[in-house]
């Protein structure tokens, strides 16, 4: 089955930049989305259509793509950004799929 691969964890100091990658061979042909899930809460959309931010999402969240990899960047990380982050896209048949998730720890 199709998979999106993310690193299990990323650690970053406050004010620094966190980068989370997501790899999948269908990514060049499908939009990617990113969700933030804080402990005990439902996920929240932070990036859609590769690099668009929903209203209310801070500008420090951005995304980029290169080939079969998309990257979520959090610039000037704050303590409140500590959460699990999931990429989401679709496989070659159009069925939705999530990456395994990346735990961001703010040191």
Partner 1 sequence: EVQLVQSGAEVKKPGESLKISCKGSGYKFTKYWIAWVRQKPGKGLEWMGIIYPGDSDTRYSPSFQGQVTISADKSITTAYLQWGSLKASDTAFYYCARAVGSSGLLDFWGQGTPVTVPS
Q: How far is the CB of 55 from partner 1 (least distance, A)?
A: 11
Q: How far is the CB of 65 from partner 1 (least distance, A)?
A: 16
**DSSP bridge pairs for 104:** 10, 83
Beta carbon nearer to partner 1, 5 or 76: 5
Residue 48 DSSP one-character state: B
Residues 86, 35, 41: CA angle, nearest 5 degrees: 100
Q: What are the residues binding partner 1 (CB under 8 A)?
A: 1, 30-31, 33, 35, 37, 42-45, 48-49, 54, 84, 86, 88-90, 94-101
Residue 45 region, left (φ>0) first, then alpha (ψ -120 to 50), else beta? Answer: beta
Residue 20 neighbours by CB distance under 10 Å:
23
Q: How far is the CB of 84 from partner 1 (least distance, A)?
A: 8
Beta carbon nearer to partner 1, 43 or 58: 43
Residue 44 neighbours by CB distance under 10 Å:
14
Beta carbon nearer to partner 1, 35 or 61: 35
Q: How far is the CB of 76 from partner 1 (least distance, A)?
A: 25
């Amino acid at each position: 089955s199709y998979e999106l691969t993310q690193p299990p964890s990323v650690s970053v100091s406050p004010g620094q930049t966190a980068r989370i990658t997501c790899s999948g061979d269908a990514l060049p042909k499908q939009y990617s989305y990113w969700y933030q899930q804080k402990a005990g809460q439902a996920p929240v959309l932070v990036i859609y259509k590769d690099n668009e931010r929903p209203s209310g999402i801070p500008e420090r969240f951005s995304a980029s793509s290169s080939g079969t990899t998309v990257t979520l960047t959090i610039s000037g990380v704050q303590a409140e950004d500590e959460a699990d982050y999931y990429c989401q896209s679709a496989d070659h048949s159009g069925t939705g799929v999530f990456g395994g998730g990346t735990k961001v720890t703010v040191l």
